[in-house]
Amino acid sequence: MDRPVRTARSRSRIAGVDRTGPAAAGRRRTVPLARRQVAADAAAGNAAENAAESEYRVADRLFHAAIAAVTGGLSPISIAEAWHDWMLNLAVSPGKQRELLAKAIEKNARMQRFLAACATTREAPPVIEPLPQDRRFRAPAWQAFPFNVLQQSFLLTQQWWHNATTGVAGVSAQHERVVEFHSRQFLDMLSPSNFLATNPEILERTAREGGANLVRGLDNLVEDWKRLIRGERPPGAESFIAGETVAATPGDVIYRNELIELIQYRPSTATVRPEPVLIVPAWIMKYYILDLSPHNSLIRHLVAQGFTVFCISWRNPGPEHREVSLDDYRRLGVMAAADAVAAVAGGSKIHAVGYCLGGTLLSIAAAAMARDGDERLQSVSLFAAQVDFEEPGELGLFIDESQVTLIEDMMWQEGYLDQRRMAGAFQMIRSQDLVWSRLIGEYLMGERPPMTDLMAWNADATRMPYRMHSEYLRSLFLRNDLAQGRFAVDGRPVHIEDIAAPVFAVGTLTDHVAPWRSVFKLVHILDTDVDFVLTNGGHNAGIVAEPGNPRRAYRHLAYRHGTPHPAPDDWLKGADEQPGSWWPSWFAWLARHSGEQAVPGREAGGGRTEYRPIAAAPGTYVLQP
C-alpha cells in the first residue's frame, strides 16, 4: 500500500495551524485551538492528580519512617501477618490442637516425675537436654535444686512452643519460620539464665564478691549507654586504628573515583606471579576485615605468597549518594578496578575475589563479562557469597514486601541505610550470643571481654545508598532475579552459568548471613570447575581463619564440571574434616591456576602516570566516619 502524501495543508493541521488562506483560517483555527485547550486542561488535571498522589505517598513514607524509628526497622505488619496466618490455620486444625494438648499433658507428667525424683535424690536425671549449641545451662550449678527445676521447665516449655509453631497445616513456609523465630526470641528473653535471682552462676559470683560484680556491671551499662548516645565505638575499639594497628599492610592508593579507592599492596617477595589478585569486599563493611592485624591479615598472607594484590576500599556514602545504583557499584567499582588492575599488570589475566555482598556483585560483573566476551578473569573466588537467594537463611525472615517497603521509606527519608539500623536484625538472629550472653557477662557478672581486632572492625559502621539497597533487596532477595536469569546489565540479562573461569567458593558452617547450603548451590549453578570449602565458624570468623588458629577446621570438595552433582548434606556426611586454616588450600589453588613466580615485583601503578600513587594505604575512604 502506498503511503499518503502529506501536503503543506495536511502538515499544518498536524501542527494545529491552517495556512490555506485568511478566510479558511478564520473558520478552522477555532477547532484545533479548542482541542489544544482541552488537552492542556487534561494535562493540568493529570499533573495535579499526580502531584496529589505524590503528596499522599510522601505522607505514607514519613509515617513508615516514623514506625521504623520505633520498631528498629522491623515491619509490624509482616509479624502480624505471620501470626494471623498461624492462628487462623491452627483454629481450624482440631487434630493439631489435640496433638498439642497431648504434648502439654505429656510434658507436664515428665515434669512431675522430675520433681518427684528431685525430692528423693540429690542428682535427678534430666528429662530433657539442651540443644548442642545451647550453652546457657552447662555449668554444674544448674543441676542443683531448685535451678535444675527452672531450667528443665524452661526447656520443656521451649520445646512445646516449637511444636506449636511448626507443622500447622496451611501456614506458609515463610510465616511458619517467622512465628517460630519470634516465639523463640520471646522465650530466650524469659530464660532463667538472664535474671539475677534465677541464675546460680550470678548468685554465686555476687555472694563471693559481695556485689562488686553488680557495681562493675552498672558502670559498664552506664558507659555503654553514654557511648551509644554520643555515637562512639565500644570501649577498647580506639586501640585499633586503621593504618596503624589494623589495615597496616604496606600499599598505595593508585586510583580513586567517587565510589572507590583502589589499593595496590607492595610486594614482599622479589618476584611475583604474572596474574594479579583483585579483591572486592562488601560495602556493608569496611574492607579491612581482610587486612586486620598482621597475624590474621589475609591480604598480608596473600602478598607473602608472591601475588600482586589489589583491594577495593569503598566510600562510606552519605545522603548525597542516595541515587547511586547497584549498577554504579558494578561499573564504578568492579569494572573500574579491573581496568586499572589489567593496565598495571600489563594485560595479565586477573584472579578476582569477592567477599559477602562483594562476591554477589563480582558474580554479576563476571557473568556480564562472560556474556560480552571479556576474558580478563583467570579465576573467581567467592567467600561467603550467595548468587541464589531462594534460601537466604534466617536473614530472609526480615525480607518480604512489607518489610522492604518499610526499609525503603526509612532510607528515603535519610538517603541511606546505616549499619546500626541493621544491627538489631543481626543481633536477633544470634540473640543468645550477641544480646543475652552480653547482658549476663558484662552487666550481671561485671566482666568485659577484651576487645579484639574483629570486634573493633565490626563496630566500624558503614552506610548503604537508598537506591542501591532498594534494588539489591528487590532484585536479589525478593525476586531472586540473578539465579533466575532475569537480572539485567546494560539492558540485557546476565546468566551466572556463563562464567567459564574456575571458581573457588567458601561457605562457613554457622553462617547466619549466607548459609553454607545456599553458597553450595554454586556447585550446581555454575558450568565450570568449582572447588568448595566448608570451614567452621561464622560469616566473619570463618573467613578470618589464619594459619595456626587451633579452632579452625575445614572440608574440601573438588567438583569437576561434567561429573554428577553431590547433594550438600550427603557430601557433608562423607567429607573428611581437615584441621587448620583453609587459606593454604586456597593459596595452592591460586598457584595452580597461575604462571610461574618469575615476574619482578611490581611498583605502585606499574609505572603508569595515570595510576601513580595518590596516598599511602589504607587511603582516605576507609577513615570516613
3-class SS of residue 470: helix
3-state SS, one letter per residue, for 565-593: CCCHHHHHHHCCCEECCCHHHHHHHHHHC
pLDDT tens-place string over residues 162-174: 999 999 999 999 9
Contact 345, 274 (CB under 8 A): yes
Q: Is residue 258 part of a domain?
A: yes
Q: Is residue 238 part of a domain?
A: no
The residues, any chain, with a CB within 8 Å of residue 480's CB and separated by 6 or more, are 388, 389, 390
Q: Is residue 402 part of a domain?
A: yes
Instruction: For residues 488 and 591, state if they share a domain.
Output: yes
What residue has cell string 494545529? 16
Contact 461, 110 (CB under 8 A): no
Q: Is residue 144 part of a domain?
A: yes
Q: Is residue 124 part of a domain?
A: yes
Q: Please give the DSSP secondary-structure letter assigned to residue 127.
A: S
Spans of the chain below 70 pLDDT = 1-53, 420-434
Output the domain CATH number for residue 619: 3.40.50.1820
Instruction: For residues 40 and 86, state if they share a domain.
Output: no
Q: Is residue 331 part of a domain?
A: yes
Instruction: For residues 25 and 92, state if they share a domain.
Output: no
Instruction: For residues 461 and 587, state if they share a domain.
Output: yes
Q: What is the CA radius of gyration of the chain?
A: 30
Residue where a domain stops, chosen among 175, 207, 239: 207
The pLDDT score that the predictor gives to residue 6 is: 38
Residue where a domain stops, chosen among 192, 207, 222: 207
In whole angstroms, what is the distance from residue 59 CA to residue 283 CA? 31
Residue type, 359: G
Using CA atoms in the order 154, 159, 165, 167, what is the torsion angle rounded to 10 degrees? Answer: -170
Q: If you average pLDDT over every residue of the chain, what do you get? A: 89
Instruction: For residues 303 and 405, state if they share a domain.
Output: yes
Instruction: For residues 388 and 263, state if they share a domain.
Output: yes
The pLDDT score that the predictor gives to residue 11 is: 35
Look up the domain containing 495 and give its range. Answer: 251-623
Instruction: For residues 383 and 452, state if they share a domain.
Output: yes
Any catalytic annotation for residue 118?
A: no
Backbone angles phi, psi at 493, to 5 degrees: -70, 150
Residue 433 burial class via C-beta count within 10 angstroms: exposed 0-12, middle 13-18, buried 19 and up: middle
Instruction: For residues 417 and 459, state if they share a domain.
Output: yes
Q: Is residue 71 part of a domain?
A: no
Instruction: For residues 115 and 39, state if they share a domain.
Output: no
In this structure, are strands 260-265 and 309-314 parallel, antiparallel, or unpaired? antiparallel
Instruction: For residues 406 and 555, state if they share a domain.
Output: yes
User: 374 — alpha (psi -120 to 50), left (phi > 0) or beta?
Assistant: beta
The residues, any chain, with a CB within 8 Å of residue 353's CB and separated by 6 or more, are 277, 278, 279, 280, 362, 380, 381, 382, 383
Instruction: For residues 95 and 27, state if they share a domain.
Output: no
The pLDDT score that the predictor gives to residue 512 is: 86
Contact 505, 585 (CB under 8 A): no
Split into its structural domains, the chain has a count of 3
The pLDDT score that the predictor gives to residue 49 is: 52
Contact 606, 286 (CB under 8 A): no
pTM over 0.75: yes
Q: Which of 178, 202, 246, 356 is catalytic?
A: 356
In whole angstroms, what is the distance from residue 344 CA to residue 267 CA? 14
Q: Please give the DSSP secondary-structure letter assigned to residue 370.
A: H
Instruction: For residues 32 and 118, state if they share a domain.
Output: no
Q: Is residue 411 part of a domain?
A: yes
Cα-based distances in Å from 316 to 47, 365, 447, 544, 621? 37, 21, 33, 23, 7
